[in-house]
Structure 1
Amino acid sequence: MSRFFFDRFFARRLSQRGYSTSWSDLANAFNTRPTTQLNLSLVKENKGLFEVPELSSYEGFYLLKDRCISETNGLIQEAISENRTRKMVEIFDELSDNLCKVADLAEFIRLAHPSGKYKQAAEIACGAVSGIVEKLNTHKSLYDALQRVVKEGDLIPTNDVDNHVAQLFLFDFEQSGIHLPEAERNKVVALNDSILHLGQHFVAGAANPRKIKKQQLPQYIQHVFPADGDNVLVSGLNAESTNPVARELAYRIYLHPDPHQDYLLTELLKARHELAVICGFQTYAERALKGSMVETPNTAMDFLNLLSTNLRERAENDFNVMAMMKKADNPQSGALSAWDIPYFTQKYKKEKFKVASSEYSPYFSLGSCMEGLNILFNRLYGISLDNKEIFNGEVWTSDVYKLAVTHETEGLLGYIYCDFYERDGKPNQDCHFTIRGGKLMADGSYQLPIVVLMLNLPMPRWSTPSLLTPSMVDNLFHEMGHAMHSMLGRTRYQHVTGTRCSTDFAEVPSVLMEFFARDPRVLRTFARHFQTKEAMPEDMLQRLCASKHLFTASEMQIQLFYSALDQNYHVRHPLNGNTTDVLEATQNNFYSLPYIKDTAWQLRFSHLVGYGAKYYSYLVSTALASWIWQTYFEADPLSRTQGERYRRECLAHGGGKSPWNLVADFLQKEPLPSHLVESIIHEVDSKNELMEQVAKIYKN
C-alpha cells in the first residue's frame, strides 16, 4: 500500500475512532484571550510571579538575591568540610539549583516584564548571581574538593549517573581556568569578559540597517525601501520581492562588507582561540565540542564533508528547477543567484501546490493546534494539557496561559506558561525558557519543572481567534518539543534536567516534533475550520504536507554551508586571510551557488556568537530526529508503545547520560557520521518522492 493511500486509510480509521468535531475546553480557552482570574475571597492577595511569594513586588528580587548568597555560602562550607555527610555531587547540584532558581527566573523577567522596576530589579539579581558564579570560579578549595572526588572517588558510594554529573561539574569549573596558575587564570577571566562584550556588540551590529543615498538607486526602485530624507534604509534582503532588481540590490547593499563588524568578528575569533589554548586545547572548536555527542571537530567535519558529498547533486537538482523558473519569468534574466532562492521557493509552492497561508490559517486556530498537541501527547505519553487558573500577580502580562501537564497515573509533571501573543517591547524570537528545573528531592518527592514558551502570534480579535500560518504551526510544535523535554525528564539532578544536555542533542526533541507537525495523520486530528469546525479538505492537507518537503536538499545545503563556515572559523587560527576570504572558500566547497563579490554575509550571522563552533548541531539534531522518526514513528505517529519507549529511553535522561551512549542505546546503532548522513539522505529522497507523487495527483 503506497504512503498516500495509507494516509487515506488512516483518515477513515480516525473517523471510525470517533474524533470529536466540537472544540474541547482547552481549544476554547486558547481560542479566546486569557484572563487573570481572582479568587473573590482573596482579591487583594498577590501570589507573586510564578507563585513565588517574594515576587509580589519587584523588591522581592532583592530578598531572593540575599537568600541565594546566604545559602550558597552555606553549601560551599558543606562541600569543603571534612565532616560532610552527603555526596559531593548532591551538594554541587543543590548549589547549581540555588543559583539557577534566581538567575533563570530573573533573566526571563529582565527580558519579558513590561515594568521598568521589575526589569531593573531582575537585572540586579542577575548581576548578583553572576558575581557569585565568578566567586565560585575562583574558589580553589571548592575546586580541589570536587577534583579529589572525581579522581579518587567519593566518601559516600556513587553510581554511574553521580560520576557522570560530577565530571560535568568539574569540566564547567575548569572552563573558567581555575586549575591554572594565577596569572593565566586572570587572563582567562579577562578573555571571557572580552568575548562577552565583543559578542554583544557584534550581535547588535548584525541587525543594523544600511543607509544609502537615494540617487545611488535606479529611480524605479527607490520606492521599494523606506525613505529617510535623502536616504533609503535597507534593513533586510527583500527576499520575497517580485522585482528581481530590488532583490539583487537589497542583497548587495545589506551584505556589503562592514569594516567595524569584521573587526569585531576577527577579535572575537582571536580571543576565543587564545582562551582555548590557555585552557589546554588546540582550538576553540575542540574546547566547545568536548562533552558533545560528536566530541571532536574532526568528527564534526567528517560528518559535514560526507553530507556535502551526498547532498550536492540533490541540491543542484533543486537549483536547476529554480533556474528554469527564473528563465521562464524572463529569458534575459541570467543565472540563478543567492537572492533568488526564497522568492522562487515560495513561487513554486504557490504554483505547484497552491499553498497560501491565508487559505490554510482558518484551519489552524491556536485553540485547534493546542487541542492537536493535547491529542498527540495523550496518545504518545498518556498525559494531558490542562488550562489552569492564573492568580493575581502570578504572570508578567495579562495575555498568558498556564498549562498543567498531568500524567494519567503519575499525576502532575510540571507547568508550562504560554506567552504566545505579540506585544510592544517583547523579544521578537520564539523560544523556551527554563524557570525551574526538575530534580529528585531528599524526601523522595520531585521538584516540578516550570518553563515558559514565548511565541509572537497574532492577537485574537473579538470574533476571531489567533489564526496560525503553517510555519507558525511548525514553530509551535518545535517549541513544545523543548517544553515536553523539560516536563518528561525525570533526572536525579537539576543540572542535567530536560534541555540541559549537549547542544547537538538538545534540539532533537524539538526537531522531531516538526515531523509530527507535517504528517497528515497527525494534522487530521485537529486541523478544523475555526468557524464551521469542518476538517481541512483532504486535497488541501496533502498539498500542504507535500509543500513542506519542497527543496529539502537545497535548504539543508545552506545549513551545511553555515555549519562548515562556523567550524572553519573556530578550527583555523590564524585565519588564512580575512573572514570574508574564509567565507568565499567555504562557500565554494560546500554550496552550489557561487560567492557574490563584495558581500560579507558572515557579518550578519549572529549565531556565530551564541553557537560558536556548534552550529553543526542543527544538522546532527535533524539527522537524529529523522532517524528516530523513521525507526519508531513513521509507521504510526500516534503509537503509545513507541511514545513510552521514547520517553523512557530518551527524554527521561536529560543530560544525565552521555549523549553518544543515550543515542546508541536507543537506536541500537552507533551515531557515526555515516549513519547520520544515511538518515538525512533517506529522509530527503523519501520526501522528494512523496512530494512528486502528491504533485502529480493534485496538479489539476
Structure 2
Amino acid sequence: MLSRLGFARYVSKFIKTFPVQCRKGCNGYLSSISTNNRFYSSKDSKVGLFSLDLHQPKDFLDHAKRAMQECNTLRETIRNSLGTNVLSPRETLLHLDEISNKVCSVIDASELCRSVHASAEWRNAASSAFQILSEYIAELNADTALYQSLVPITSNPEIMQNLTEEERRMAILLQKEFERDAIHLSDQERERVQQLNSFVVQLETMFTENLVRHKSFELEGPLVDDVYKTIPKSVICQNIQQNNSRDDSVTLTTEPHIANSLLKYSQSANLRREIFMEANTACPQNLDVLDALIKQRHELAQAMGYPSYAHYFLSDKMAMHPDNVMKFLHNVKNASQQQYNHDMQTLSMVKSQIEGTTEELKPWDLSHYTGIVKSHLFEGQDDAGSLAGYFTVDQTLEGLKDLVQRLFGIRMTEVDMNANETWDVDGSGVSTLRKYEFVEEKSDKPLGCVYFDLHPRPNKYTHAAHFTVRCGCEVFESRSSGEAVHQLPIVALVCNLSPPYAGTGSASILSHAEVETLTHEFGHCLHSLLSRTSFQHLSGTRAAMDFVETPSHLLEYYVWNKQFLQKIGSHYESGKSIPEDKIDNLIKSKNSFQSLEIQSQCVYAMFDQTIFGQPENWQGSTTDLFRKLHQENGLMFAEGTHWHSKFSHLVSYGAGYYSYLYASIFSADIWATCFQDGATAFDKNTGEKYWKEILVHGGSKDPNQMLRSMLGREPDVSTFFSRLSRSV
C-alpha cells in the first residue's frame, strides 16, 4: 500500500492542492518542525523523533500552533498582494507551497506518530495535532484570497508561457483543487463544506484507529494441538502478549503474521475456519463508522456539485469517471474469468482427494490448498517446505542495497540511531528500528534517509505502508540569497513482517510473500527519495493516485527475478545459497493461481466504487452489498463475516482502490518492454532512464506523458493479460 500519499487523503483538499511537505522558501527559514536540511549525527543531542525537532509529546501541539501562525503570515502577504505586483507569479506559487509545507511538516509526522508510536502519550499528542491541523486545512480550503491569487496567473496566456512546465502544472492543479473544494460557492455553502470535511476526517480517523486494536480470542480443546502443530508454542508465546502457559488453551490475536500462517499451513479445517472467522469479524465497530463515512462523503460531494463521492474523487485522476473505472474492472475480470474457473476447479478437486469428501471449497481453504498445489506442481516450492529459512530481513535488505547500487548507482548505508529518534519502545527494551541513508555515488550527494519499522507490536498500524515524513524539494535558505538547495526527504517504511523468535536467534525469517511486501513498499520509498521537484506539492508519491502504485508494482518483479533471488536467498543457519532448481520452480509458480487474486481485487474495487457511488445504485447494508458482489462474480463468501470492516483502503483509497490494478497494467508493460522481462533488471542505462523518465518527476508531469516517454509509445494492456494465460 502506498499509505500515505501524504495527508492528501485525510485532510480536506487543501492538502490535495498543497499536499506535500517542504517548500520552505521565501521567508528566511526552512520549516516550523525541521530546522536544518542536513541529517543530524546519531550522537547529536538536537536530533528528535523521526530526525525532526520533536523531543517530547507536547512538541506536536507547539509545532502545530507555530505552523498555523506562520501560515497566517503568509496568507496575509498573499492577500495584500492581490491586484498589485508585490509578488511575481512564481513568488505567489512559492508562497502557496510554503503554506502547504508549514502544515504538512507537522501533520505528516503526526500521522506517522499516531500510527506507530509505542507510547500512548505520544500517540494522543500526535492525534490532537492532526485534528487541529485538519480543521485548519478546511479553513485554508475556503480562503478566497488564496484562490484569487491563482486566477490572474492561469487566465493569462502570456504569464503561463513564461512559467516552467512544472510551475504551470502547479498553478493549474492548485486552482482546480480549490474549485473542487467549493471555493466558487457562497460563504454559507463553503461553511457547510468545511463542516462536512471535518466530519469525514474524524470518521476516517476512527476507522483507522479501530484497526490498530488487535482482537484477542481463546481456543480450547483439540484446536490447541492443531495450533502448535503448525506454529511452535515458543513462537506463539513470544509473539502473543497474553498468557499462553496453559496446555489446554491458547490465546491468539488476529495479527496478520499469525493468522495468515495458520490459514496457509494448518491441516486442520476446523482451525482454519475458526481463524478465518475471527480475523474477518475482528472490527465490527467499523461497520457503523463506514456507514457514517459513506453518508458524509456523499453529502460532501453533492455540496460541491458532484453526483457522488466517486465522481468527485475521480475528477482529477487518470480514469476521470466512475463509468471508466467500472468498465476497466469488468474488462480485467472478464479477461481472467476462464483461468479463474479452471483454478477453482483444480483446488476443489485437490480438496476432495485429500479430505476424501465431496464438501465444497470454503473461503478458509483457498490459501491452504493453493500452497499444496503449488508445492506439488513446482517440486515442493512452498514457503513452509523447501524455501523455509532461505529468506530473512537482513538478506532482503542486502539485496535491496545491491539493487539500488547496480541499477541507479546509489549507496544505501545503515547508520546508528539516537534513542531520541526511535518510537518502537516505551521506556524500556531495545529498538528494532533501522535507519539507512542514501547517497548518489557519482556526485557523492545525499538523497535522503529511510526508517524501517518492520515487525508487529501492540498499538501499531497493522498493514504495510510507506509514510513520507518530509518530502524532497527545492528550498531557499533565506529570502535574499536566491540560491536553492534540495531538501532531503525522510521516509518511514512500516510493515508487520514475521519477527525473530528464540529458535532462530536474531534472524527474522520471511516468507516469499513477505519479501514481496517489503519490496513493494521499498518501491514507494525510491519514488520519494529520487524525485527532484521544485514544489513539495508535486514531490515523490504526490502523483495521481491511479499512477502512483506503478513504481511499487514494478519493483515487485524483482522478487521473481533469478539474479535478485540468488542475492537474497541464503539459509539463516547454514548460510548456503538457495538451490538454483528451487529458484527456477519459484519463478515458474509466479502466475499460478494469480487469477484468484485478480478476481478478488476486482470485487474489492467494485465494492469501493459502489459504496462511494450514487446511493440509488445499491440497497441494504454494506455487508449485504459485499456478499452480493461476491455471489454475482462467482467468489465465495462466508456468512457472518464482514471483511470490509478492516479494509483500510476504504479510508486511504476511497473510490480509488482500482488504482492497484490500474498501476499493474503500467508496471507490467514497463517491465516487459524496458526491463526486457528481467534481462536488463540490473542494467544502469535502463535504471537511469527509469529514474529520469518516471521517478524524478514525482507529480510534476502528466503520467500519460511519462509513460509515453518511458515506453516510446502508448501503454499496452495486452502484456498484463498475457501473463494470465501462463498460469498452470
Q: Same fold (TM over 0.5)?
A: yes
Q: Which residue is equivalent to 2:474?
A: 440
Partner of 1:571, secondary structure, is: coil
Q: Deviations over 1:578-634 (max 9, x none)?
A: 134533443344x33355566555445343233211111111111211111111111
Q: Return the letter of the residue paired with 1:408.
A: E
Q: Return the letter of the residue paired with 1:437.
A: C
Q: Which residue is equivalent to 1:518?
A: 560
Q: Which residue is equivalent to 1:67?
A: 66
Q: Return the letter of the residue paired with 1:657.
A: K
Q: Which residue is equivalent to 1:368?
A: 395
Deviation at 1:257, TM superposition (A): 13
Evaluate the alpha carbon distance shift between residue 46 and residue 494 of structure 1 in structure 2; reply closer, same or farther with a 3 A threshold: closer
Which piece of structure 1 moves more, 77-86 or 433-442?
A: 77-86
**Consecutive unaligned residues in structure 2, runs of 5 or more:** 1-39, 228-241, 425-430, 477-482
Distance 2:143 2:404 in 1: 45
Residue 75 (structure 2) pairs with residue 76 (structure 1): yes
Of 275, 290, 307, the residue aligned with 2:315 is: 290
Residue 305 (structure 2) pairs with residue 305 (structure 1): no
Q: Which residue is equivalent to 2:685?
A: 641
Q: Which residue is equivalent to 1:172?
A: 177
Aligned 1:166-565 pairs, distance under 5 A: 166-202=171-207, 239-240=263-264, 241-245=266-270, 247=272, 263-353=288-378, 354=380, 355-357=382-384, 359-391=386-418, 393-397=420-424, 398-410=431-443, 411-442=445-476, 443-457=483-497, 458-459=499-500, 463-565=505-607
Q: Which residue is equivalent to 1:137?
A: 141
Distance 1:484 1:247 in 2: 38
Deviation at 1:265, TM superposition (A): 3.5
Deviation at 1:382, TM superposition (A): 0.9
Deviation at 1:464, TM superposition (A): 3.8
Distance 1:421 1:326 in 2: 33
Distance 2:106 2:292 in 1: 33
Q: Return the letter of the residue paired with 1:680.
A: F
Evaluate the alpha carbon distance shift between residue 551 and residue 193 of structure 1 in structure 2; reply closer, same or farther with a 3 A threshold: same
Evaluate the alpha carbon distance shift between residue 642 and residue 286 of structure 1 in structure 2; reply closer, same or farther with a 3 A threshold: same
Q: Return the letter of the residue paired with 1:104.
A: D
Distance 2:126 2:412 in 1: 30
Distance 1:243 1:281 in 2: 50
| Aligned partners of 1:575 and 1:582 also within 8 Å | no
Partner of 2:568, secondary structure, is: coil
Of 101, 117, 121, the residue aligned with 2:105 is: 101
Evaluate the alpha carbon distance shift between residue 137 and residue 596 of structure 1 in structure 2; reply closer, same or farther with a 3 A threshold: same
Deviation at 1:311, TM superposition (A): 0.9
| Aligned partners of 1:207 and 1:604 also within 8 Å | no
Partner of 2:552, secondary structure, is: helix
Aligned residues: 640
Which piece of structure 1 moves more, 303-312 or 101-110?
A: 101-110
| Aligned partners of 1:496 and 1:656 also within 8 Å | yes
Deviation at 1:37, TM superposition (A): 8.9
Aligned 1:52-63 pairs, distance under 5 A: 52=52, 54-63=53-62
TM-score by length of 1: 0.82
Partner of 1:615, secondary structure, is: coil
CA RMSD of aligned residues (A): 3.6
Distance 2:583 2:218 in 1: 47
Evaluate the alpha carbon distance shift between residue 89 and residue 379 of structure 1 in structure 2; reply closer, same or farther with a 3 A threshold: same
TM-score by length of 2: 0.79
Q: Give me the identity figure in percent.
A: 29
Deviation at 1:568, TM superposition (A): 2.1
Partner of 1:125, secondary structure, is: helix
Q: Return the letter of the residue paired with 1:374.
A: K
Evaluate the alpha carbon distance shift between residue 210 and residue 102 of structure 1 in structure 2; reply closer, same or farther with a 3 A threshold: closer
Which piece of structure 1 moves more, 421-430 or 482-491?
A: 421-430
| Aligned partners of 2:541 and 2:699 also within 8 Å | yes
Deviation at 1:570, TM superposition (A): 2.5
Of 583, 602, 616, the residue aligned with 2:626 is: 583
Residue 50 (structure 2) pairs with residue 47 (structure 1): no
Partner of 1:413, secondary structure, is: strand
Distance 1:113 1:391 in 2: 16
Partner of 1:440, secondary structure, is: strand
Distance 2:585 2:720 in 1: 22
Which piece of structure 1 moves more, 106-115 or 179-188?
A: 106-115
Q: Return the letter of the residue paired with 1:286.
A: H
Q: Which residue is equivalent to 1:125?
A: 129
Of 655, 666, 682, the residue aligned with 1:613 is: 655
Evaluate the alpha carbon distance shift between residue 606 and residue 100 of structure 1 in structure 2; reply closer, same or farther with a 3 A threshold: closer
Deviation at 1:135, TM superposition (A): 2.5
Distance 1:309 1:597 in 2: 26
Distance 2:210 2:441 in 1: 50
Distance 1:256 1:445 in 2: 50
Q: Deviations over 1:347-385 (max 9, x none)?
A: 223333312346435332333222211111111111110
| Aligned partners of 2:674 and 2:711 also within 8 Å | no
Q: Which residue is equivalent to 1:113?
A: 117
Evaluate the alpha carbon distance shift between residue 584 and residue 108 of structure 1 in structure 2; reply closer, same or farther with a 3 A threshold: closer
Of 682, 691, 694, the residue aligned with 1:650 is: 694
Distance 1:170 1:139 in 2: 12
Deviation at 1:559, TM superposition (A): 0.7
Residue 151 (structure 2) pairs with residue 147 (structure 1): yes
Partner of 1:363, secondary structure, is: coil
Distance 1:234 1:396 in 2: 22
Partner of 1:402, secondary structure, is: strand
Q: Return the letter of the residue paired with 1:67.
A: R
Distance 2:644 2:464 in 1: 23
Distance 2:657 2:704 in 1: 18
Q: Return the letter of the residue paired with 2:335.
A: N
Deviation at 1:495, TM superposition (A): 1.0
Distance 1:478 1:277 in 2: 36
Q: Deviations over 1:413-449 (max 9, x none)?
A: 1111222344444333222111110112241321111
| Aligned partners of 1:46 and 1:394 also within 8 Å | no
Distance 1:89 1:304 in 2: 38
Evaluate the alpha carbon distance shift between residue 258 and residue 488 of structure 1 in structure 2; reply closer, same or farther with a 3 A threshold: closer
Q: Which residue is equivalent to 2:724?
A: 684
| Aligned partners of 1:487 and 1:498 also within 8 Å | yes
Deviation at 1:463, TM superposition (A): 4.8
Q: Return the letter of the residue paired with 2:694.
A: C
Partner of 2:586, secondary structure, is: helix
Distance 1:142 1:310 in 2: 47
**Consecutive unaligned residues in structure 1, runs of 5 or more:** 1-35, 693-700
Partner of 1:550, secondary structure, is: coil
Deviation at 1:548, TM superposition (A): 3.8
